[in-house]
Chains A and B, each alone.
Chain A
């Protein structure tokens, strides 16, 4: 009996211990579940905050890239503008270069000879080839009669050109005042009035007018005057005048020299008789 009651006591103890173990295990499982839930919660929170941070980071990066893009676009626009500016400057320089070449050629040719007729021919060439005049004439001042006498022409006969008194009509007025005349209408007409030119340029040495270039019509392809044409007119006004004047003086002095030389030769020959 005593043995049985001891066994029962042990069984009770064991059961108690077992129940305690069961409870403890249940508690552990509960705690485990709670902790796992907590971990899950924490992980979720962490993920959320990481995403937010990442989004923020990406947004910042996008903003930065957008700013960079805008600044690059702005730079590109500036470079494009500069490029356009350079291109237009290049064209300007090219045009200027060509104009200078034209002026150089004109000036070079005008002073390349002291032959009066050749100088006149060169003036004609310049007016034809560089200005594009079809019908025109060169009139020089006869200081004795105070008249402008036609000495060379293109597209019209010299016989059709009258002598013009200083102050008479457009040509005479240009010769008296020394100021160029430009008609508002450029003509391409086949018939021209010899005393009414479209353009009249005085040939001047300083303020002294020695003649005029009288232009009546231009080639059909020439529709107007450019800045270069006005530069050429200015050049002709001065350089053609000095070239014509000096070549005329040279021709006269050559003639005089020949005459004097002939006299001298004649005088030298006289004693032989």
Chain B
């Protein structure tokens, strides 16, 4: 029963990702609006995978990834970055910060489900 943490400031994107995640059997959606909110959720709930946007207020996705990778209890949680930035250097930036995979907007639902499944199965 995977718990999926979605870190995204846009309610539209959160709802959209939520719809996609509902199609992963027995999965539970945990929502966070920014990096700080995500860290709070991580400390209070068991999380199996993180889907995070890069551009967010308060704490962006890259900073969140660095903090997660630096915390022993969270460092092995797979992280998928979801962002508007499709340039190669942005991908490198996210992956070198510690993200496991990278998806660009507009997100294709099947691609998102396939990617999440590849980390939780």
Contacts and interface: CB of A to CB of B under 8 A. Distances in A.
Nearest to B23: A97
Contacts, number: 58
Interface in A189-225: 219-222
Contacts of A132: 84, 105-106
Interface string A105-134: 110110010000000001001101111101
Interface in B85-106: 85-87, 104-106
A16 interface: no
B109 to A, nearest CB: 4
Contacts of A95: 110
B11 interface: yes
Contacts of B12: 105-106, 109, 122, 125-126, 129-130
B10 A130 contact: no
B109 A129 contact: no
Which of A101, A104, A122 has the most C-beta atoms of chain B within 10 angstroms of its own C-beta? A101
B120 interface: no
Nearest to B19: A101
A155 to B, nearest CB: 10
What's the interface size class on A, roughly? Answer: 20 to 34
Which of B11, B85, B108 has the most C-beta atoms of chain A within 10 angstroms of its own C-beta? B11
B117 interface: no
29 contacts: A95-B110, A98-B20, A98-B108, A101-B16, A101-B20, A102-B16, A105-B15, A105-B19, A106-B12, A109-B11, A109-B15, A122-B11, A122-B12, A125-B11, A125-B13, A129-B12, A129-B84, A129-B106, A130-B12, A132-B106, A219-B86, A219-B104, A219-B105, A220-B86, A220-B87, A221-B86, A221-B104, A222-B86, A222-B106
Interface of A: 94-95, 98, 101-102, 104-106, 108-109, 112, 122, 125-126, 128-132, 134, 219-222
Given A101-B20, A105-B16, A105-B19, 16 more contacts: A98-B20, A98-B109, A102-B16, A105-B15, A109-B12, A125-B11, A125-B13, A129-B106, A130-B12, A130-B106, A132-B105, A134-B84, A219-B84, A219-B104, A219-B105, A222-B86
Interface of B: 10-13, 15-16, 19-20, 84-87, 104-110
